[in-house]
Chain A
């Protein structure tokens, strides 16, 4: 079900990632202002963009779950948020490394872009504990969907608020005033596409794995003579259940 097209997608992702990194180091010129350290930008910005889009996608699947009651949408939302959290960790670490090299500090507390991203990260870090704290699978799925919708709506609002703020330190990438040279822009765009492909591939892998585990559990329940899909398991889990 979720494994369809995974082989092709994986191959495309590998080609795109290798291609993007090759362009970063062998094609895109060094930035006149920052020099070689600007190469982190081709990793850090796509990671941040894809992570934020993943959080929004989690919210969209949350809406679909509430509308249809289909537990597969709950699973999709859960995996999207789970993966976005991993990318958000990579964003924070790569951003800190860049800040250390460029500003001389690992973290700057008066920079709205950094702090707002940290707030979004910490908000979503509550998602798994929230799910884990609810034992009944149906209630867990419903509460998690509401959380994902509210938090998903917060992400673009937060992004716009930060854009409107008068930032002093954090560079702006996609603006109408700063024109990137063609080679840099191409590399940056390919990096975003590659990162998005990586996200979708890992999302499908995780979905296929989770779905297989769920089906196994269902089969075990059927063999044991309990056929009610909403019966809570003996061991509590944050992951959705079939």
Chain B
């Protein structure tokens, strides 16, 4: 088949490179979503750890002081 003129083949070349770029961008967007989920999970775990620490300190305060004999 004879070579296509530049104007006609240019759109095919642009399409191929755009597909590649689009796939990379979609991949990066998915990675960003995953990163956001990790950040959210980290926040939840941090809250959980803080609540546990607060509960532990409350328990310590509620314990009756030992009576001296």
Binary CB contact string for chain A from 171 to 196 against chain B (1 if under 8 A, 0 otherwise): 00000000000000000000000000
> Is the CB of B55 closer than 8 A to any CB of chain A?
no
Binary CB contact string for chain B from 26 to 62 against chain A (1 if under 8 A, 0 otherwise): 0100010011011001100100110010000000000
Task: Decide if B12 touches A37 in the complex (CB within 8 Å).
Answer: yes
Task: Decide if B45 touches A36 in the complex (CB within 8 Å).
Answer: no
Among A26-81, those with CB < 8 Å from B are 31, 33-37, 39-40, 43-44, 47
Task: Decide if A212 touches B38 in the complex (CB within 8 Å).
Answer: yes
Chain B residues with CB below 8 A from A100, complex form: 12
Task: Decide if B34 touches A213 in the complex (CB within 8 Å).
Answer: yes
> Is the CB of B19 closer than 8 A to any CB of chain A?
yes
Chain A residues with CB below 8 A from B25, complex form: none
In the complex, number of A-B residue pairs with CB atoms less than 8 Å apart: 79
Task: Decide if B3 touches A34 in the complex (CB within 8 Å).
Answer: yes
B20 CB, min distance to chain A CBs, angstroms = 5
> Is the CB of B1 closer than 8 A to any CB of chain A?
yes
Q: How large, as a class, is the contact surface on chain B? A: 20 to 34
Task: Decide if B6 touches A36 in the complex (CB within 8 Å).
Answer: yes
How many residues of chain A are within 8 Å of chain B by beta carbon? 35
Binary CB contact string for chain B from 1 to 16 against chain A (1 if under 8 A, 0 otherwise): 1011110111011011
Chain A residues with CB below 8 A from B13, complex form: 36-37, 39-40
Chain B interfacial positions (CB closer than 8 Å to A):
1, 3-6, 8-10, 12-13, 15-17, 19-20, 23-24, 27, 31, 34-35, 37-38, 41-42, 45, 48-49, 52
